[in-house]
Amino acid sequence: MASAHVRNTAAMASSRRCGAKTRTGTPCRSPAVSGKLRCRMHGGAAGSGAPRGNRNAYKNGRFNGEAIRDRRMLRELLRQSRALMHGIE
């Protein structure tokens, strides 16, 4: 028995897609939650993420801002010293 009901899927088809990658490496095809960049399965749902002011969410160690700045500065110093050494030879 065929239904005469027409599905209106235009809004879903034209909505912004989730920016996450799936386990297979392909982009997620689900629509992003309104006002967010991810779908409900990849972190766009209400209440997902750390609460504001959560001290446990602070970064420490290798990937905090200070460590990243230090590595960039060291890399630049190495670049400059290599250039200086090549200029001396």
Q: DSSP labels for 8-77?
A: --HHHHHSPBP--B-TTSSBP-SBPPTTSSS-GGGT-STT-SPPTT-GGG---GGGSHHHHHHHHHHHHH
Lowest mean pLDDT among 29-33, 47-51, 85-89: 47-51
pLDDT higher than threshold 70 for residue 1: no
Q: Which residue, 39, 36, 19, is CA-closest to 27?
A: 19
- Threshold 0.95, pTM exceeds: no
Residues 38, 18: contact at Cβ < 8 Å? yes
